[in-house]
Structure 1
Amino acid sequence: MTAPYNKPLPKLDALTRPFWDHARQGKLAMQVCDDCADIHFPPTPVCPACLGDHQSWQIVSGDGVLESWIDLHRAYWPGFTDDLPYRVCIVKLAEGPLLASNLVGPSEGAKLHAPVRVIFEQVTDEITLPKFRLAGG
């Protein structure tokens, strides 16, 4: 990376590291319960559906629909000043989990349940952020 990244970054730990390792490879992965097959996010030490403690990771499609979004016109962290306004969104993945992210690219067609597709932005050597674009058009 040439310029330092000056926005907040996630803290990697044993529970979240697989998510970020997959993202660095350009893959979106969700935790899945080996006992009941519930796919969930964020990762948890036990399944939120059955409380089983056998968890693994599954690559998901990266397809979803826009559930909500907001345009932020204020930089709550200095690193966002040059991005104003920027769009934060909630995406419902095709596999079910909700994911908070950014909606990037042309978004004049943003509407409830508009189809979106994941993209990845490498921001440091260790962190690649999943973001979303409107699909098609």
Structure 2
Amino acid sequence: MCSALKNKLPTLCQTLFEAKAAKRLTFADIGKKIDKDEVWVAAVFYGQAKPEESDLKKLSVVLDVKENYLVYGYPLKAIINEKFGDGIMSAIDFTAKVEKIEKDDHERVKITFDGKFLPFKKW
């Protein structure tokens, strides 16, 4: 991949490409290992396809990348910035809660993150 394009991709995508290169795998190789089409795999690498949780686990193993690097951090950050402005959610003043709830006769998982918003300082 050309470096000009790589630099425009989110850090998550860059991490995937670096792991792919380190393992010397093709998109087809990865697809075979996780039972997915090579085009779908490439779309994930470019942030244009959303993998299921089970796919994330498989990608994590194949690429030797921690699974928590393959979750929804960037989309959540973008939404926080849209709603609050340029800044971050504090992990110092932070709580997380996982609940089991029933809805329409199905068990569901409800995850609540509660953190103080800290705007970036303008200088």
Which category of TM-score, normalised to the shorter sequence, fits these structures? under 0.3
Larger Rg: 2
TM-score, structure 2 as length reference: 0.25
Higher strand residue share:
1
Higher helix residue share:
2
TM-score, structure 1 as length reference: 0.23
- Identify which of structures 1 and 2 has the higher relative contact order when contacts are C-alpha pairs closer than 8 Å and 6+ apart: 1
